[in-house]
Structure 1
Amino acid sequence: MPSPPAPASSTSTPFSLRKIAVPAFGPSLLFGVGEGAILPIVPLTARDLGASVSTAALVVGLISIGSLLNNIPASLITMRWGERWAIVVAGIWSALGMALCLWTSHLGLFAAGCLMVGMSQAVYNLARQSYMTEAVPIMYRARALSTLGGVMRIGMFAGPFLAAAAVHAFGLPAAYVVGIIGVLGAAAVGARIPDLEAPPIPAGQSAPASATLASTLKDHWRVFLTVGIGVVLVSAVRASRQAVIPLWAEHLALAPAVASLIYGLAGGIDMLVFYPAGKVMDHKGRRWVAVPSMVIMGVAMLLMPLTTGFTTLLIAALAIGFGNGIGSGMIMTLGADHSPRHGRAHFLGVWRLMSDIGASGGPALLSFLAATLSLSAGIAVTGLIALAAAGALAYWIPARRAGAGSAAR
């Protein structure tokens, strides 16, 4: 077991991401596998339980809704129990939700299980981000959080393939078994994470007053209304991209297998570039990655309605995947940079709430514009939102965070 990593403020001992790879990133990989295993199966199970197409879509949406509603409670859980036990509780709660989905034949209980999975997602993500922010020195922060996000994406990518093999061999319920094994594995690895010690109080100073949610909002409202707005826009674009590619492929009358191939290739590019992007953020500053990420995605989406077939759509989709990939961990890194040492979980709870609001609002806006105007108009507006996000981040993020990259190797 690796020794506990140095606090973020300490640079007296050498630090290596490799030394903390298993305890830091192992739970994220397993949690991603667990969630990825069930996501494609949830609407199929809902339909088997008698749900209409629209109701099945709503049941799938309950996972995102559970995460959205539980961000603030997640901060309270993390503050009360600490990051390590919050990670363990999140894994167990997710497993219970998946078990309910597996063993129930009632649509209402199945929906409740999906909501539980979303709730656990909020607790896990906040606790993982809080732990990494505290454990990793600032000159390695972007690489650590980009890798954290990238590893989670790898797990989400691999999960459906593992579930597909299990479903082929044992039937539809086997996907939930794969999911349960994944999230319980994440909890087991998370239980072995070293506890973080509270930062020492400097000589001659008294202990700071306990932070509350209200005091966090009061002290950091400017950050939430500046960089935070940029984060809302980024999340809206990222969530919308998942619908943009398959919808436009269908508009071009491409076969479903071809649309899946394009989507998969874009996802592959997405997973290949997270670490180099994190290194650039550590050495050059956050703006060097945040702004290009949104510009690339924005331009690609503005050009997508002009595509006419497989090749041109593939180029646009790969550009979107590359832009999204270099932004892996960007929202977590910006949240970590602005979060206070005391009351960090409260700050990150609000930060993740804003991110989830954007992630919920983006696809809803795309759906509305597609229904009232046209799909091409909806995609173009999403591209404009990406460019607006780039402008907001370029204005509000410092060109280079003080001390970032000064000691990075």
Structure 2
Amino acid sequence: MFGIGQGAAAPVVALTARELGGSVAAAGVVVALLGLGQVLGDLPAGRIVARLGERNAVLLGSAVGLVGVALSLVAPSVAVLGVGVGLFGVASAVWGLARQSYVVDAVPAEMRARALSAMAGLSRLGFLLGPFLGAAVVHVVGTRGGFLVQLVAVVASGALMAALPRLEHGPDAGGRGRPAVSLTTVVTSHQRVLRTLGAGALLMGAARASRTAVLPLWADHIGLDAVTTSVLFGIGAAVDVALSYPAGRFMDRRGRRGVAVSSLLVFAAAHVALPLAGTAVTLGVVAVVMGIGNGLSNGLIMTLGADAAPAEGRAEFLGAWRLCHDLGMLAGPAVVALVSAAAALAAATLAMGALAAVGAGVMARWVPRRPPAP
């Protein structure tokens, strides 16, 4: 449900900014505020989950998200729209950490990867379906209909999460979380993990996010229209969703390293091959390959974080861990923009391919060979 809301709103954020009189650059900044809000919310999210428990944290996140979506829905200016989008980014950070923490507590360790991968896959499925549902509402009420779908989805998803039973252990036990551990303590105690595996998570985030930038830009470069581009992107997204659960099952049975390394190598190959795509068919092949890389990595970062997290201060650690990945999500499109401006789009895709290959090396070095013991 939460993914449906995100997917319904995603196509209309930039369009709403343009309708309010913003330039193309201003619309791009508004879109980027969603990711910035998520990065800014990652660390506080850990403290919130530790203090309030997962279910109460979701209720708080849903309330913040509702304020953000409501502001976007009625925004009279680009500035107000930007505030609304940023607030929803913060809410997404709290939401994501709370549901991850709940699943880690609720599911046996030997099923952790497939559970988290399935959850990530369902979120991607919602994001895939959201634009279609949003398009129907937009047709009736106008561009901001996507925000209306998002508003309903935030309420529904918050209610579903709040209806889950309390667990006998973890932050929700007894209805009260543990005292929050300071950020300094978390970073100091676990700096080796954050410096090594965290670097791999950052490079994974960069490879994932650059995909959403380079595919549409290359499609425009070779003269494809928006409809064809959307279809190709949708095909890749369908492959992405289909691979989520099988990848999680493989991680539970064979360990995390194989999936971590192979997904980044697939990303590297797809980015290197992209400049060779000169037709819709060849670009479609690249989109499918990128979808395979993304599908293999669904739930991977959450699983690695859960494996590495300590029993005490887990929520705070997961907040810092998510920050590593989300900084990569911000950095990926930024690298594409900077290298494209300095050289060419083809050079940017090759640079991202190189970074993905480096990420594969980091994962091969630091991800344990076998799954953790239950």
Q: TM-score, normalised by structure 1?
A: 0.87
Counterpart in the other structure of 1:191? 162
User: Which of the residues 97, 100, 120 maps onto 2:91?
Assistant: 120
Equivalent position amino acid for 1:55 in 2 = A
Please state how far the C-alpha of 1:169 moved relative to its aligned partner.
1.8
Counterpart in the other structure of 2:175? none
Taking a change above 3 Å as real, the CA distance of residues 194 and 383 of structure 1, as seen in their structure-2 partners, is: same
Q: How many angstroms apart in 2 are the aligned matches of 1:250 and 1:56?
A: 19
Counterparts of residues 263-302 of structure 1 (less than 5 Å): 263-302=233-272
Note if 1:247 corresponds to 2:247.
no
SS at match of 2:202: helix
Q: How many angstroms apart in 1 are the aligned matches of 2:79 and 2:197?
A: 39
Counterpart in the other structure of 2:53? 82
Counterparts of residues 209-220 of structure 1 (less than 5 Å): 211-220=181-190
Q: Deviations over 1:193-227 (max 9, x none)?
A: 12223369xxxxxxx99743222212111100111
Please state how far the C-alpha of 1:43 moved relative to its aligned partner.
0.9
Note if 1:398 corresponds to 2:368.
yes
Counterparts of residues 2-21 of structure 1 (less than 5 Å): none
Q: How many angstroms apart in 1 are the aligned matches of 2:221 and 2:77?
A: 36
Counterpart in the other structure of 1:389? 359
Note if 1:256 corresponds to 2:196.
no
Q: How many angstroms apart in 1 are the aligned matches of 2:94 and 2:289?
A: 32
Q: How many angstroms apart in 2 are the aligned matches of 1:330 and 1:66?
A: 23
Q: Deviations over 1:91-113 (max 9, x none)?
A: 22212211111123132222111
Q: How many angstroms apart in 2 are the aligned matches of 1:210 and 1:121?
A: 20
Counterpart in the other structure of 1:164? 135
Q: How many angstroms apart in 1 are the aligned matches of 2:294 and 2:180?
A: 37
Equivalent position amino acid for 1:160 in 2 = P
Superposition CA RMSD, Å:
1.6
Runs of 4+ displaced beyond 6 Å: none
Contact 2:105 2:169 in 1 (8 A): no
Please state how far the C-alpha of 1:172 moved relative to its aligned partner.
2.1
SS at match of 1:341: coil
Greater CA deviation, 355-364 or 213-222? Answer: 213-222
User: Which of the residues 122, 136, 158 maps onto 2:107?
Assistant: 136
Taking a change above 3 Å as real, the CA distance of residues 96 and 211 of structure 1, as seen in their structure-2 partners, is: closer
Please state how far the C-alpha of 1:50 moved relative to its aligned partner.
1.3
Q: How many angstroms apart in 2 are the aligned matches of 1:199 and 1:40?
A: 37
Q: How many angstroms apart in 1 are the aligned matches of 2:34 and 2:69?
A: 11
Counterpart in the other structure of 2:349? 379
Contact 2:200 2:359 in 1 (8 A): yes
Please state how far the C-alpha of 1:80 moved relative to its aligned partner.
1.2
Counterpart in the other structure of 2:277? 307
Contact 1:232 1:357 in 2 (8 A): yes
Contact 1:210 1:342 in 2 (8 A): no
Structure whose CA Rg is larger: 1
Counterpart in the other structure of 2:197? 227
Q: How many angstroms apart in 2 are the aligned matches of 1:234 and 1:107?
A: 32
Contact 1:300 1:316 in 2 (8 A): yes
User: Which of the residues 309, 317, 328 maps onto 1:347?
Assistant: 317
Q: How many angstroms apart in 2 are the aligned matches of 1:106 and 1:210?
A: 38
Note if 1:67 corresponds to 2:50.
no
SS at match of 2:11: coil
Q: TM-score, normalised by structure 2?
A: 0.95
Counterpart in the other structure of 1:22? none
SS at match of 2:312: coil
Aligned residues: 368
Equivalent position amino acid for 1:39 in 2 = A
Q: Deviations over 1:116-170 (max 9, x none)?
A: 1111011000111111112111100000110111111111111111010001122
Counterpart in the other structure of 2:18? 47
Greater CA deviation, 100-109 or 44-53? Answer: 100-109
Note if 1:110 corresponds to 2:101.
no
Q: How many angstroms apart in 2 are the aligned matches of 1:110 and 1:257?
A: 27
Q: How many angstroms apart in 1 are the aligned matches of 2:156 and 2:43?
A: 25
SS at match of 1:342: coil
Counterpart in the other structure of 1:18? none
Q: How many angstroms apart in 2 are the aligned matches of 1:101 and 1:57?
A: 15
Contact 1:89 1:187 in 2 (8 A): no
List gaps (5 residues or longer) in structure 2: 172-177
Please state how far the C-alpha of 1:174 moved relative to its aligned partner.
2.1
Please state how far the C-alpha of 1:403 moved relative to its aligned partner.
2.8
Q: Deviations over 1:51-84 (max 9, x none)?
A: 1110011011111111111111111111111111
